[in-house]
Structure 1
Amino acid sequence: MSLFLIHIEHYTRAHGTEPALAFAGGSPEALAEAIEDALRNPALFTRWCALQHDPDKVPAELGALDPGASVRADQRDLHVELEIHSALPMKLIAQRLTWLIGPHWDVRNIK
């Protein structure tokens, strides 16, 4: 299992561009829960697939899950630091973060 340290500079702007996928919660804790759910459960991936031109051609491996994933958020002023523990590759974590909060994040470290 890897540890991904993610930085969100302006938490209040952290929303994805597609309303059907975007995070709409009001706290860093709610964001951590939404990300954890996106890594553990297929609902977000299923919604994304439904938006694709040909959902049946989406590679199944893009929907990989990690039932043991955990996410913790720490707010400091307007920015949030996330600690994501997951066995999923960064490619899939990045995909789900982008769906939920758009480009408003960056990786600080992977251990």
Structure 2
Amino acid sequence: MTHRNHYYLQVSDLAHARGAQPELSYGGAGPGDFAAALQEALRSPLLFQRWRAMQPEPDEVDERLGVTDQLASVSAKVVDLHTEVEVISDLPMSILRQRLNWLIGASWKLHDVRPA
């Protein structure tokens, strides 16, 4: 049985938040675009597949790193000059961290995790 969690995140400067690899990085214009990009990254294997194809030995990459959650939901809004992001998912924090880092690098902070 999986447990859904509610992750509370903050991005201080979403307009300049980008991952290290342009091929994987978020390129949107605002909180709505970012929420859609992160939700897609959690629901679909496409971002993982692009990352895996970039690896020296793609066939040796652990498939478990590509796990998805078809029911993941993401919302984001601007509050006091930063972006607050809420994620509801049964994915572990390690996978959420991976997808966030691909999309926006280290531009985010986790504030809280609660059962959903």
Q: What TM-score range do you get, normalising by the shorter chain?
A: over 0.9
CA distance in 2, matches of 1:75, 1:42: 28
Q: Bigger shift: 92-101 or 9-18?
A: 9-18
Task: Tell me, yes or no, if the aligned pair for 2:15 and 2:30 is still in contact at 8 Å.
Answer: no
> Do structure 1's residue 72 and structure 2's residue 100 form an aligned pair?
no
Residue 43, structure 1, aligned to residue 28, structure 2: no
Q: Which runs of structure 2 are paired with 1:8-47 in the superposition (5 Å)?
A: 8-47=11-50
Identity in percent: 41
Equivalent residue number for residue 101 of structure 2: 98
Deviates more, 1:7-16 or 1:52-61: 7-16
CA distance in 2, matches of 1:74, 1:12: 13
Kindly state the Cα deviation for residue 93 of structure 1 after the two structures are TM-superposed: 0.2
CA contact (8 A) 1:7 1:82 kept: yes
Aligned partners of 1:88 and 1:59: how far apart in 2?
Answer: 16
TM-score relative to the length of structure 1: 0.97
Q: Supply the AA of the counterpart residue of 1:93.
A: L
The answer to whether residue 97 in structure 2 is matched with residue 108 in structure 1 is no
Gaps of 5+ in 2: none
User: Does the 8 Å contact 1:9/1:79 carry over to 2?
Assistant: yes
Please give the root-mean-square deviation of Cα atoms over the aligned residues, in Å. 0.7
Q: State the 1:12 CA deviation.
A: 1.4
Counterpart residue type for residue 15 of structure 1: R
The one of 38, 42, 57 aligned to 1:54: 57
Q: Distance in 2 between matches of 1:106 and 1:51?
A: 26
Q: Once the 2 structures are TM-superposed, how far is the Cα of residue 74 of structure 1 from its aligned partner?
A: 1.3
Cα separation, 2, equivalents of 1:59 and 1:109: 28
1:40/1:65 contact within 8 Å kept: yes
